[in-house]
Amino acid sequence: MTSFWNDLPQPFFILAPMEAVTDVVFRHVDKLKQAGAPDIFFTEFANATGWVHAGDKAIAGRLIKTDDEHPLVAQIWGGEPGDMEAILSLHCAELGFDGIDINMGCPAKSAIKSGGAALIRRPDIAVAAIAAAKTAGLPVSVKTRLGYTYC
């Protein structure tokens, strides 16, 4: 599998995934800048379990993309590898994302109940989530942190 990561300029600039910020409109406004525009864009994080149980309405447009956004990486979080596999292989790959990023770094209490930084303390689930992400056939990255603390 050829990965877009191999084709990036060195050093490369990433627009970090930010909840309630990096939606499709924000990414397009940021892309309009000629100098300093990111080489990679990330979506807001989308909850895998919410999507499995309630569909697109559960992720409130967080995975909306347009054809001119490349490379665009879908950031997903959750604590159920089966749900991660479902959203990644059945949704993200079909939508044409260039990569998948698993959020294992968010310390917010709402995220650590079943994912985010809580996966630092659950390496078995973290390994299973990465394996599930790989089933989509897209490059996989992980957002993490150095330690585990509450926000």
Q: Among candidates 87, 24, 100, 19, which has minimal Cα distance to 56?
A: 87
Distance in angstroms (rounded) separating the CA atoms of residues 47 and 20 = 13
Q: Say if residues 96 and 65 touch (Cβ distance below 8 Å).
A: yes
Q: What is the pLDDT of residue 95?
A: 87
Q: Hey, which residues does 42 pair with through a beta bridge?
A: 73
Is residue 41 included in any domain, yes or no?
no
Is residue 20 included in any domain, yes or no?
no
Close Cβ partners of 117 (under 8 Å, ≥ 6 residues apart): 104, 105, 106, 107, 111, 144, 145, 148, 149
Domain range for 93: 66-144
pLDDT tens for each residue of 4-28: 899 999 998 888 887 778 888 888 7
Is residue 103 included in any domain, yes or no?
yes
Residue 145's identity, in one-letter code, is: R
SS3 content of the chain, % helix, strand, coil (to 5): 40, 15, 40
Is residue 105 included in any domain, yes or no?
yes
Residue 45 pLDDT grade (very low, low, confident, very high; cuts 50, 70, 90): confident
Q: State phi, psi for 78 to the nearest 5 degrees.
A: 160, 170
**Entry pTM:** 0.85
pLDDT tens for each residue of 58-78: 776 788 888 888 899 999 988
Q: What is the pLDDT of residue 98?
A: 93
**110 against 127, higher pLDDT:** 127
Quick check: bond before 71 cis, omega within 30?
A: yes
Q: Among candidates 46, 47, 42, 24, which has minimal Cα distance to 139?
A: 42
Is residue 71 included in any domain, yes or no?
yes
Helix and strand totals (H; E) in the chain: 6, 5
- 151 among known catalytic residues: no
Among residues 84, 106, 118, 132, the one annotated as catalytic is 106
Residue 139 pLDDT grade (very low, low, confident, very high; cuts 50, 70, 90): very high
Number of domains in the chain: 1
Distance in angstroms (rounded) separating the CA atoms of residues 115 and 12 = 28
